[in-house]
Chain A
Amino acid sequence: MESIKINRMKAITNSWLKINDTDMEIIESPVVSEVLPKLTSGAGEGFDRYVAARSKALDIVVTDGNKERKRLDIAGGFHYIDVKQSKNSKLDLIVDVKNSEDNAYVLICAELEDYATLNIIKKVENVGKAYIGFAAKAGDSAQIHAYDLFMGGEKVTYGSKVVLEGYKSQYDAKVGYITCGSEKLDLNYLTEHYGKKSISNLDVGGVMKDASEKTFRGTIDFIRGCKGSEAAENESVILIDQGVKNKSVPTILCTEEDVKGEHGDSIGKIEDDTRFYLESRGLDEASIVKLVSEAKLYNVIRQIPDDEFKKELIKEEQEG
């Protein structure tokens, strides 16, 4: 099987830790486009070119002051979504990748001019192999709000690179995941602060069961000149079963003194106090695990600004 390396960390570390990048399967597929993406996703240039060349690009353009909502349901195949938002525009974009045995390769690029706002909700559920890349660039006071849900797939990789180029540009991402069986989840979030007083916040929470594997790379990069910028990154992982393999590397790179950056990571089992409380309410082990898992996802779902999709997700969770 032919493969390339994707989701490579910006600052790599010892190779024996096996955390610097991951493999993506290359499949035979005709080249249909010569369009090269202008931005680079967190999955890397190799991934971006591979996907863009085999996709018919879907252009989403939101003009000055306008507001749009777009939903894309994806089941396998190659997809390149190119978003351009003019000043003061707003876009709610839902990308739902699910129920597919075929490999899915998805690249989303978004360029936001000044004061534009993008709410982007990405959900991956019940897939075979899904490889997703996200690239975004934000102008002055532009805002990107991301809600990422990873809810099952044999192998799911997601590489995000957000460039906060503009003054007071903002990016916040809320991420929830559940891995079970022998699933593999590989996440690479990179936020580059160029603009003065730019702000980013990444909040990641998940539950791991059975013999699943998860790698989380979260990199905050303060580039010289981004005075007054602030960034925070937090991951919280609950490990349910003995066979799980968790790898986390929250990274801060900094060449600008006048910034504030922080990250935190907590990894472990369900807190004893939490377990005792739930047991005292009559819940058995399976119910406790279900409740805790759902909580990680609901933490993201409840904040999704699109009511229609939020209701759909809640309904699915309740029925599932």
Chain B
Amino acid sequence: MAEIKELEEKTYVEDIDRNIYDFRYEDKDAYKVESGLTVDIIDTISKEKNDVEWMRELRHKGLEVYNKSTMPEWGPSIEGLDMENIVTYVKPKTDMKYDWKDVPENIKDTFEKLGIPQAERDSLAGVGAQYDSELVYHNVKQEVADLGVIYTDLESALHGPYEQMIKDHFMKLVPMTDHKFAALHAAVWSGGSFVYVPKGVSVEIPLQSYFRLNAPGAGQFEHTLIIVDDDAYLHFIEGCSAPKYNVANLHAGCVEIYVGKRSTVRYSTIENWSKNMYNLNTKRAKVEEGGKIEWISGSFGSHTSYLYPTSVLAGEGAKSEFTSVTFAGDGQELDTGCKTIHNAPNTSSYINTRSISKGNGASIFRSAVVVNEKATNSKVSVSCQSLMLDKESRSDTIPVMNIYNKDSSIGHEASIGCISDDEVFYLMSRGVSEDDARALIVSGFAENVSKELPLEYALEMNNLIRLEMKGSIG
């Protein structure tokens, strides 16, 4: 794990301390395409990836759709993102390795600082590490591979026995016509992992992918495709970070998860991109009969985020749980939330989110629950609580519920406010100092979410939040 700094207790709430992530290496030997988005650039990427023909055609189609699509009008401004200045493909000077000691020194050092190799040794079944546009390391423990679990980089899988499986699923759950940045992803995607868990297999120890974007002015467009067959279990952890630059970076990755009958997939994310990052990621899961998807999400980074993991409950009895915490500090506008589409009877979804905003940060919770005609006897519970730590911040809650059958039960609640003086007074009357009282309240506010985060991977994140929040506010 990254070395946890001893942080002094403070008397004011600072932003999340990103110093441990804000280091960078100048990779002079990296191969880069030109900035911008043209047919030639798409062809160059496709050639670099040695794409099969259908993938090359998909990329071209993606560019076509991208050029015809419009920018979203409903969310935070992304005027600062100029695609003409974004380099969509940066290849470090190394191939993918299966042993950390073979990874080039500077890249290995990067991941050592982030604690990834240590985490793999301690508590993970497999790791994929992506540096700029390519995976530099991928490995899965033998005992997991022996169960028939496939965890490999997506490009290898495309050129192997899984090509047809990938073709049947790739960008079917997130079609490129979904929105402009899904189309962009289709055109320039690179890196990412393919996971297949066979029937009846329970992967007890998590698999993890970590994404590091090192190059300034670059984009990362990894694609994660997870197929979990019936009666199986998988916990997948995703982490990301980047050093801060004065130019914009872009993350427009895509995650597609297929959850088989009676299977459970837990997808945990700790997002800590730097404050120059535009995070326009798309994640979607389709859940079959009796299956369950659990989204655990911690969003702490980025300059601007559009992030709404979506669950499509396609089979009878399918379930979705979404638990998240979002912390928007100075200069951040984090528009996050989730969507659940109920398409079958007896489905249920549970959404529980916390958001904290401070400085001139803005935290926007945006959700959509759609219960279609066939989704009779479905149940939905949405709870969103927002805490504003000072008068400069902003917090919005925009939950939509479109209900198209009479037999379902939907409940929603949300609240917004600041730390209660009564609660502080109560604690102080019990001998707790004012600073400690406020810190305790804020920690408690996020606790029911932070305890769901994967501690074996995000331990330093939880500690950072707890320690940074410890102290008086305002």
Q: Say whether A253 faces chain B, with CB atoms less than 8 Å apart.
A: yes
- Interface with B: A6-14, A97-105, A295-303, which one? A6-14
Residue of B389, B408, B416 contacting most chain A CB atoms (<10 Å): B416
8 A Cβ contacts from B399-436 to A: 399-418
Partner of B416, one of A17, A245, A252: A252
**CB pair B373 A254 closer than 8 Å:** no
* CB-defined contacts of A224 to chain B, threshold 8 Å: 391
Asked if A242 CB lies within 8 Å of chain B CBs, one says yes
Q: Does B54 contact A (CB under 8 A)?
A: no
Count of chain A residues near B, Cβ 8 A: 40
Whether the pair B418, A257 counts as a contact (CB closer than 8 A) is: yes
Knowing A254-B394, A257-B389 are in contact, say whether A263-B406 is a contact too (CB < 8 A). no
Smallest CB separation, A11 vs chain B (Å): 6
B401 with A255: CB separation less than 8 A:
no
* Bound-state Cα–Cα, A309 to B366, Å: 41
Set of chain A residues within 8 Å of B404, measured between Cβ atoms: 244-246
Q: Within A255-289, which residues are at the interface with B (CB < 8 Å)?
A: 255-269
Instruction: Report yes or no: B396 in contact with A11, Cβ–Cβ below 8 A.
Output: yes
Chain B: minimal CB distance from A71 (Å): 37
Q: Is B388 an interface residue (CB 8 A)?
A: yes
A17 touches B402 (CB 8 A): yes
Does A128 interact with chain B (Cβ within 8 Å)? no
Given known contacts A259-B417, A260-B417, A263-B414, A250 and B74 CB-to-CB distance under 8 angstroms = no
Contact with B along A1-40 (1 / 0, CB 8 A): 0000000000111110101100000000000000000000
Given the known interface contacts A254-B396, A259-B416, A263-B413, the answer about A19 and B402 at a Cβ–Cβ threshold of 8 Å is yes
Contact status B406-A262, CB under 8 Å: no
| Closest A residue, CB atoms, query B364 | A11
Q: Which residues of A contact B395 (CB under 8 A)?
A: 252, 254
- Whether A254 contacts B73 in the complex (CB less than 8 A), given A14-B368, A247-B402, A269-B409, comes out as no
Task: With both chains docked as a complex, state the minimum distance between the C-beta of A57 and any C-beta of chain B, in angstroms.
Answer: 35
B393 interface contact, C-beta 8 A: yes
B163 contacts the other chain (CB 8 A): no
B406 pairs with A240, CB closer than 8 A: yes
- The answer for the CA separation of A240 and B406 in the assembled complex, in Å, is 6
Residue pair A13, B410 in contact (C-beta under 8 Å):
no
A313 CB–B CB distance under 8 Å: no
B: interface residue count bin: 35 or more
Instruction: Note all chain B residues with C-beta closer than 8 A to A248.
Output: 400-401, 403
B474 to chain A, nearest CB (A): 8
Q: Select from chain B the residue with minimum beta-carbon distance to A216.
A: B401
Q: Across the two chains, which residue of chain A brings its CB closest to B377?
A: A269
B73 & A267 in contact (Cβ 8 Å cutoff)? no
**Alpha-carbon gap, A239 to B366, bound state (A):** 25
Cβ-defined contact, A268 with B398, below 8 A = no
Which residues of chain B come closer than 8 Å to A245, judged between CB atoms?
Answer: 402-404
- Check A59 for interface membership: any CB of B closer than 8 A: no
Q: Which residue of the partner chain, among A241, A250, A267, A269, contacts B414 with CB atoms under 8 Å?
A: A250
> Is A251 at the interface (CB under 8 A from chain B)?
yes
Q: Which residues of A contact B407 (CB under 8 A)?
A: 242, 269
Q: Given A224-B391, A259-B417, is A13 in contact with B401 using a C-beta cutoff of 8 Å?
A: no
B390 interfacial contact with A, CB 8 Å: yes
Chain A residues contacting B401 (CB-CB under 8 Å) are: 246-249, 265, 267
The answer to the question of B269 belonging to the interface, with a C-beta cut-off of 8 Å to chain A, is no
The docked-state distance in angstroms from the alpha carbon of A245 to that of B373 is 9
B370, B373, B403: most-surrounded residue (chain A CB, <10 A): B403
Most buried by B among A224, A254, A265: A254
Alpha-carbon distance between A220 and B161 when the two chains are bound, in angstroms: 55
User: A13 and B402 in contact (CB under 8 A), knowing A259-B416, A261-B415?
Assistant: no
Contact of B400 among A222, A247, A261 (CB under 8 A): A247
- Of residues 359 through 377 on chain B, the ones whose CB sits less than 8 Å from some CB of chain A are 366, 368, 370, 373
How many angstroms from the CA of A242 to the CA of B407 in the assembled complex?
Answer: 8
* A20 CA / B398 CA spacing, docked (Å): 11
| B396 x A250 contact (CB < 8 A) | no
| Residues of chain B at the chain A interface (Cβ within 8 Å) | 72-74, 366, 368, 370, 373, 386, 388-391, 393-418, 474
Could you write out 19 A-B pairs with CB less than 8 Å apart? Answer: A11-B396, A13-B400, A15-B73, A15-B74, A17-B368, A222-B416, A242-B405, A249-B401, A251-B397, A252-B397, A252-B414, A254-B396, A258-B418, A261-B416, A261-B417, A262-B413, A262-B414, A263-B413, A264-B411
